[in-house]
Structure 1
């Protein structure tokens, strides 16, 4: 979890604990205290559910953003690699043509030298 999520959860927990302790030490009847505890528990549960939904939404949003960025970078890398591979192939084809031309000259010289011998 991120720092802000931990902070929010800490504040919620502290609020719930503080409210509970305040109610327990208040000079009210037991039935009123139980009612207040019940209400505070429900409020804390609702707050926690709301914050969990917010955190879940932020995580999902971040995932989608990061995935999109990753896909874009991967496409860029693949495109770059494709161009580089094409450059390498072109260079190798050029060298192959040079080697074929040299080989042809060597073969021609061999035949000429063989005729003279």
Structure 2
């Protein structure tokens, strides 16, 4: 999550909490009822924050999992490519060795 998105999320949650608190404090209600409303608002904000944290954690885990899979695929492709190149190099060297043997045989005669 980018730093800007995190700041916006924190500001949004803080604004909602402050707004709810001010609304409850200025409402014409008994103190016990007001305290219950504040506690309920706090519990709602805490649950909302926990859900947001879980969502962010899942997203981060998903992204790292995708990166790991991409890295493994790239490694496998590289190894496969190197194996193909090794076969080409061996074929080339065998051909050159055969040519050298042929030239040596001609020089021996």
Extract unaligned runs of 5+ from structure 1: 110-117
Contact 1:24 1:33 in 2 (8 A): yes
Contact 1:5 1:55 in 2 (8 A): no
TM-score (norm 2): 0.75
State the match for 1:64 in structure 2. Answer: 65
State the match for 2:93 in structure 1. Answer: 92
Pairwise CA RMSD: 2.5
Rounded Cα–Cα distance in structure 2 between residues aligned with 1:103 and 1:13: 87
State the match for 1:103 in structure 2. Answer: 104
Residue 71 of structure 2 is aligned to residue 74 of structure 1: no
Say which one has the larger Rg: 1
Extract unaligned runs of 5+ from structure 2: none
Rounded Cα–Cα distance in structure 2 between residues aligned with 1:4 and 1:59: 16
Q: How many aligned residue pairs are there?
A: 108
Question: How has the CA–CA distance of structure 1 residues 51 and 5 changed in structure 2, closer, same or farther, with 3 Å as cutoff?
Answer: farther
TM-score (norm 1): 0.71
